[in-house]
Amino acid sequence: MIFNRFKFIKRSGRNPRETIEPNGQSDSTNPPAPAVLKPRYCLGLALSCGAARGLAHIGVIQVLEENNIPIDLVAGSSMGAYIAAVWGFGLNGQEMAKLAGEINGRVPLWRLVDPVFPPRRGFMRGNAIIDQLRRTIGAARIEHLTRPIRIVATHFDNLERVVFKSGNLARAVHASCAIPGICVPVKIDGEWAGR
């Protein structure tokens, strides 16, 4: 549909000004009307934290993909950052669900706990979880991913939001997953960051 002289005219594939001759042929003196393009909206997902409940994000991505709804950007914090990292690396919803099932089946929860002795700034390092992520994504960098993502964390010195748009992906996810008081914050470029 296009707006023409304060009326909506539905385009039928032929020029409304063109005449049809009695033999069924069109008068080709008028050029065909230009195609009207439908606007495409951008879709961004904001994935929150929540440990195992964060795995529900995989289901949301699967439903969007099954319905051919393109995702333009994913931003995440904590478990949402983990899911965003794997999605940005190139895995689709089904591959992520399979990966989550494999991790759940072969890695006992206690193996993901890596305590700090003596505890300073937190009780756990968080390295075991990030090592698990590195098995999937390797040494990927945020700016080189196949899909655009943003990882959100907190700057510990001034409590301001930090949005990672570039840099080492696993380090950014590690910083986003570092729960204050429980996990030791992550030092990135000389600054302490966490959730």
Tens digits of per-residue pLDDT, 156-176?
Answer: 778 889 899 999 999 999 888
Give me the pLDDT at residue 172, please: 92
CB 39 within 8 A of CB 66: no
Convert the pLDDT of each residue in 44-82 to its tens digit: 999 988 777 778 899 999 999 999 999 999 999 988 999
**Among candidate residues 18, 126, 145, 6, the one with its CA nearest the CA of residue 78:** 126
pTM of the entire structure?
Answer: 0.73
Give me the pLDDT at residue 145, please: 92
* Interior angle at CA 70, CA 80 and CA 1, nearest 5: 140
CB 104 within 8 A of CB 95: no
Q: How far apart are CA 93 and CA 136, in angstroms?
A: 15
